[in-house]
Amino acid sequence: MYDFSKITGAIHNWLSSIMPDLGVIITEWVLIGVVFLAFFALLGLILVYAERRIAGFFQFRLGPNRVGPFGMFQTVADTVKLLLKELVGTKEADSFLYNLAPYFLIIAALMSMAVIPYGFNLVAYDVNIGLFFMMAVSSIGVIGILLAGWSSNNKYSMIGAIRSSAIIISYELSLGLSSVLAMVLLAGTLNMNEIVMSQQAGWWLFRGHIPAIIAFIVFIITGTAETNRVPFDLTEAESELGAGFHAEYSGIKFAFFFLAEFVNMFIISAIAVTVFLGGWLPIHIPFWDGFNGIMDYIPGPIWFMIKTSIVIFILMWFRWTFPRLRIDQVLTLEWKYLLPISLVNLILMAFVVMMGWVF
């Protein structure tokens, strides 16, 4: 197990030795800010590329393959293009709210990324209510969507935004109730680092019996809905709403929404990995000591990224498998199926924990 507090501590000590206290604090803030901003932007670039490439493979075509090797720089070129595009707004829009909307989405996404443990002690904001903080902050994003749709003064945006907020707030219940709370019951803590540490004997997905598996399935479904992806992408249903809530945004302002959407997908996958799949812990197979020993040599962040990529791939797979639902079908699925299932599942999980039937 690689302890990253040694590295961060060493950097801190080195900085303390060459400059006064205030300088250390400012330098560390700048460092963390730059690292997270770079990670944030890079994540957007890679995920958009991956999405298009995977879409290509699912449809028996190549996807982007011209810019750079295997089209890897396609999204970089797209970003440059989006930066240099004219910002066309509308004269009817409420311009203050129109410009304010992207801030909500981007800041909510960034703050959620702060509490994710990427490795042992490798977390920007180690807080004892990490999971609760994550749920709270990620639901602020819906305000951005609602503001964007409302302030554009466009009928498509308006419909998209209202639908989006209906879906997001509805699915948040199952996300919080069944999936996350059921796992908190097992782990007995909300600190994300401690949740990972509690899975050293095995991932909660396997140790939590059937309730954990139900919770995982519900989490993946609700996670897809939370990030506004197909089959729940009524917010921006191309065939009926044009682009939904960001129809009136162009150039880099559109890119903010796009970026936030893809980073949200990463965040949902990261929660799934942290809570169900053992976070940054390596894969261990019982009684295979040699194999386990080799796996221990691979650093935590790499394990974290591998697992997250697999969950992201599943979310992208959904997109090319399920047709889009109607709004009434979406709400029926949540309120008449997922929510009762979540309630019963939570009781089941509490019973399992009370009886101590955990492996």
Partner 1 sequence: MGSSALVLFFIVGVFFIVIATSIAALFAPRSSNPQKLDPWECGIKPSGNAWIQFKIGYYLFAIIYLIFDVEVVFLVPWAVVMKKMGTVAFVEALIFLVILGIGLLYAWNKKALKWE
Indicate whether 295 belongs to the interface with partner 1 (CB under 8 A).
no
Residue with tokens 């969950």, as numbered in its chain: 311
Among the listed ranges 185-193, 224-232, 290-298, 310-318, the one in contact with partner 1 (CB under 8 A) is 185-193
Residues 302-321 that bind partner 1 (CB under 8 A): none
Residues 5-64 that bind partner 1 (CB under 8 A): 28-29, 32-33, 36-37, 40
The residue count for binding partner 1 (CB under 8 A) is: 77
Interface mask (CB under 8 A) for partner 1, residues 123-142, using x and -? -xxxx----x----------
Candidate residues 11, 50, 184, 314; the one interacting with partner 1 per rule CB under 8 A: 184
Among the listed ranges 288-296, 297-305, 309-317, 341-349, the one in contact with partner 1 (CB under 8 A) is 341-349
The residue (of 63 and 121) whose beta carbon lies closer to partner 1 is 121
CB of 285 to partner 1, least distance (A): 27
Residues 56-115 that bind partner 1 (CB under 8 A): 83-93, 102-103, 106-107, 110-111, 114
Indicate whether 350 belongs to the interface with partner 1 (CB under 8 A).
yes
Indicate whether 324 belongs to the interface with partner 1 (CB under 8 A).
no
Tokens of 239: 């065939």
The answer to whether the peptide bond before residue 231 is cis (omega within 30 degrees of 0) is yes
The residue (of 158 and 312) whose beta carbon lies closer to partner 1 is 158
Among the listed ranges 206-214, 261-269, 272-280, 336-344, the one in contact with partner 1 (CB under 8 A) is 336-344
Residues 143-162 that bind partner 1 (CB under 8 A): 150, 152-159, 162
CB of 281 to partner 1, least distance (A): 20
The residue (of 162 and 281) whose beta carbon lies closer to partner 1 is 162
CB of 41 to partner 1, least distance (A): 8
